[in-house]
Amino acid sequence: MTSDSTRRPSPATLITVAPTGAESEKSAVPALPVTLDELVTAAKDCRACGAAVVHVHIRDGQGRPTLDGTRLADTVQALRAGTDLIVQLSTGGAVSDGFEPRLAVLDALPDACSLTCGTVNFGDEVFANPWPFIRELYARTKELGVVPEFELFDLGHVATLHRLLDDLGEPHGGHVHCDLVMGVPGGMPGNAATLVQAVAALPAGATWSATGIGRTALPVMFAALAAGGHLRVGMEDTVTFAGGRPVTGNTELVQRAAALAELAQRPAMSPEQARAMLGVAGHH
Ligand code: KMH
Ligand code: ZN
């Protein structure tokens, strides 16, 4: 693994919003955006508060997670029509999703996609990402011109990222961007010491964001800002704003992240700045 001692903090902060996820149910979390209209409205509102990337999971007519190809393509189109956000589709889906439907997500031709670099215990479940699947997914991102964001739930995933880059070369767009997903029960803990270790192991020249699940959201956000990283927030990862107080919507999570980034004197970057940093082509 390469440690990049020359890594400098970016002068601005990329804020990714993950508004929905695959885990929470609308009945338990009424503010969760699950319809296309709710998703586009949330995306527009979060853009106004400082988000530059939207990480998207979609739901079916009953509010259940789905990887339906038509719905995914319609979602990409609607988000592009309604916002200038970078549209990043999840290829992680739900823990119950198979590998073929997860690979087929790329057929919706988003700007970007998530690409998880290893299997991880996920609460009582297993989020399966064996090497052959990771490799095939990465190869397809390169064929189709989709910019991957490498999701790292554990330090072993960083080793797999190095293996992937050694094996297949640089991603479409030419830039490596990672997201440390911390505090998943079964993955790396969401604290400053672990974040520093993970960042030191990233490939030279990579940029990174971090997100802390549940109550690790704030420690991870402060640690990421201190270490020069970027932020991912949203109701996929956090449905409680403070002890006993449910999140009212994605905007308050983005507003809080943008306010902290401003305090850190690294204000939220625009989608245009984010496209330049990540190697994502211009807004369609
Ligand atoms: N829903 C999780 C099992 C991703 O979007 O790529 C996986 C996940 C990661 O959310
Ligand atoms: Zn996700």
Please report, in tens digits, the pLDDT of each residue of the chain (284 residues total). 444 444 677 899 999 999 999 999 999 999 999 999 999 999 999 999 999 999 999 999 999 999 999 999 999 999 999 999 999 999 999 999 999 999 999 999 999 999 999 999 999 999 999 999 999 999 999 999 999 999 999 999 999 999 999 999 999 999 999 999 999 999 999 999 999 999 999 999 999 999 999 999 999 999 999 999 999 999 999 999 999 999 999 999 999 999 999 999 999 999 999 999 999 998 87
Ligand 1 pocket residue status of 45, Cβ below 6 Å: no
Instruction: Output the pLDDT for position 5.
Output: 43
C-beta of 114 in contact with ligand 1 (< 6 A): yes
Q: pLDDT at position 19, please?
A: 99
Q: Which ligand is nearest to the CA of 157?
A: 1
Asked if residue 76 has its Cβ within 6 Å of ligand 1, the reply is no
Taking residue 62's Cβ as centre, other Cβ atoms within 10 Å add up to: 8
* Residue 120, φ and ψ in degrees, nearest 5: -150, 140
Regarding pTM above 0.85, the answer is: yes
Q: Which residues surround ligand 2, an ion (CB under 5 A)?
A: 90
151 lines ligand 1 (CB under 6 A): yes
Ligand number nearest to the C-alpha of 23: 1
| Helix ranges (DSSP H) in 180-283 | 192-200, 217-226, 250-263, 271-278
d(CA 53, CA 83): 10
Containing H/E element for 103?
A: helix 99-104
pLDDT in tens, 158-170: 999 999 999 999 9
Contact 116, 157 (CB under 8 A): yes
Residue 191: what are its φ and ψ, rounded to 5°?
Answer: -145, 170
Q: Which ligand is nearest to the CA of 115?
A: 1
Q: Which atom belonging to ligand 1 lies closest to the Cα atom of 23?
A: 1
